Homo-oligomer: A and B are copies of this chain.
């Protein structure tokens, strides 16, 4: 099976997730600045989730760039990732409406953690399909970010539990910032892979 239709479907789902999250931002009924202020936390959580979906789209894009064929296992591992990502509008909305209360912040962290695990599973299933010598296997050989992120999410969840919940948010923002730094390894692998194709 070629990856093109899988990529197109994933792009479609990610485009929808990133956009419908704004529907959870409830339009205030009063035309005042105070009413708008009530949407402020909703806005911040929307921004954070938007960045996360952007990061996943970016990483997804890079990962499948070095893959040519997929099998049924990869396809379901991909749907598994999309499932957890599709819950982000729900968990984002709950956290945004409750101004970073304890349980919603915990759940948001758990959702991020599930996405990270699903991405690792997807990566592993691709590597098993393409072989240990494939471009992807070498690119992720020392996948530092992928190993650090879950630890950060765990730390954030612990903070949200024992300390004021916004401290947990600080960790989730931190993890996003780490991912925003472009993944040089992957880009190098792509560049090394490209001439091999041509």
Contact = CB atoms under 8 A, between A and B. Distances in A.
A79 interface: yes
A86 B18 contact: yes
A131 interface: no
Interface stretch (A90-98, A118-126, A151-159): A90-98
B25 A90 contact: yes
Interface stretch (A1-9, A139-147, A167-175): A1-9
B33 A76 contact: no
Chain A interface SS verdict (over half): helix
A98 to B, nearest CB: 4
B5 A7 contact: yes
B97 A27 contact: yes
A178 interface: no
Interface in A159-198: 180, 182, 187, 190
Contacts of A102: 31
Interface of A: 1, 5, 7-9, 11-20, 22-25, 27-33, 36, 47, 50, 54, 57-58, 61, 65, 72, 75-76, 79, 82-83, 86-87, 89-90, 93-94, 97-98, 101-104, 107, 180, 182, 187, 190
Given A33-B103, A57-B9, A23 B89 contact: yes
A61 B90 CA distance: 29
A17 B21 CA distance: 11
A9 B11 contact: yes
Nearest to A50: B83
